[in-house]
Amino acid sequence: MLKRPPYGIIPAMVTPLTAEDQINERALRRLTNHLIDGGSHAVFAIGSQGEFWAFSADEKRRVWEIVVDEAAGRVPVYAGSAAVTTREAIQLTRLAEEAGVDAVSVLTPYFISPNDNQLYDHYKAIAEATRLPVLLYSNPARTGVKLAVSLVARLAEVPNIVGIKDSSGDLELAAEYMRVAPEKFSVLMGRDTLIYAGLLYGARGAIAATANVKPRLVADIYDKFIAGDLDGARQAQQALAPLRLAFGWGTFPVVIKEALDLMGMEGGPGRAPVGPLSADQREKLRGVLKDMGVV
C-alpha cells in the first residue's frame, strides 16, 4: 500500500524476454535494481511499455511477483491491470494484489467506446473490488477513449482512486485535471517530454518509459524541481528529449528494449508481431545513447 499519494518519477518498466520468448527473470531483477539505484521513486510493471497486451494472466502475475520480491520494500511497486472488460480488469487487479504490489494503474478500456457513465461504473467497480490504491490511466491516442475532466473529478471522489497518469500530451487537459481534482489526488505526466512543464502546472511527477535507460536523469527533473533548482530540472528535461523523440523509429515499445540491449541490460525482443529496429535505426539509437553517456 502507498504511504502517500503517488509522486515522483515512476519508470514504466519494459518486460525483458529471452530469445525463446520467455520472461527473462535475471534481466527483470537487474532492471528493477537499476531503476531503484538510479533514484526512481517507485516502479511500474506491466504497463504499456511493459507490453501488457502481450502476456497471459499467469505471466503478468509472475512479473509482479519478481518485481515485488526484488524491490523488497525499497520503493512502491505499481501494477498495470488494464483490460477491456470490467470483469477481467477486476480479476487482474486481484491477482496484482495477491502478488503483493502497492497500487494498480488501470488504462481505459480500448477498441470499444464507453460513455462517461460506463467509464465511471468501470473504475468504481474496480476500486471497490480491491484494497489497493487505484491510478487512472488515460492514453487516448492509443485507446480512442478520453477521460473527460468532469469524469475525473467524479472518480477522484472514490476513496481509493488516488490519481491519474495522463499520456494525452495535452498540457491544457492535464492542467484542468489538476484544477478540478482534490488535493489528495495526484496527476502524473505520461508524456516524457512534458514532465517539467507538468510540474510547473502542479503535477506530482511522471510515469516515464525513458527512465528505463537513464533513471537518474529522469529523477533529476523531479528532484531538482522540488529542491528549487528550476534551471537544473529544465536542463535534465531537455537532455532527455532526444530519447523520447526516438520512440517513432520502431514499433512500440521496441526502442527502449533495444536501448537496454545496447547498454548490456538485456531488454530482449518485443513479443511478436513487434519486430526489431532496422540496422540504420539501431545505429541512430546508439548515437542518442552515446550523447546521453550510457554506451
pLDDT reported for residue 77: 99
pLDDT reported for residue 53: 97
Q: DSSP assignment, residue 212? A: G
Collect all residues with Cβ–Cβ distance below 8 Å to 121 and sequence separation of at least 6: 86
Residues that are catalytic: 137, 165
pLDDT tens per residue across span 16-64: 999 999 999 999 999 999 999 999 999 999 999 999 999 999 999 999 9
- Indicate the average pLDDT of the chain: 98
Euclidean distance between CA atoms 74 and 109, whole angstroms:
32
pLDDT at 1 over 90: no
Q: Which domains does the chain have, with CATH numbers?
A: 8-247 (3.20.20.70)
Element (H, E) at 117: helix 116-128
pLDDT tens per residue across span 78-111: 999 999 999 999 999 999 999 999 999 999 999 9
Tell me the CB-side half-sphere exposure of residue 249, using CA atoms within 13 A.
24
Question: Position of cell 510493471?
Answer: 45
Euclidean distance between CA atoms 232 and 282, whole angstroms:
30
Tell whether pTM > 0.95: yes
Task: Please give the share of the chain, as a percent, with pLDDT higher than 70.
Answer: 100
Three-class SS of residue 47? coil
pLDDT tens per residue across span 218-231: 999 999 999 999 99
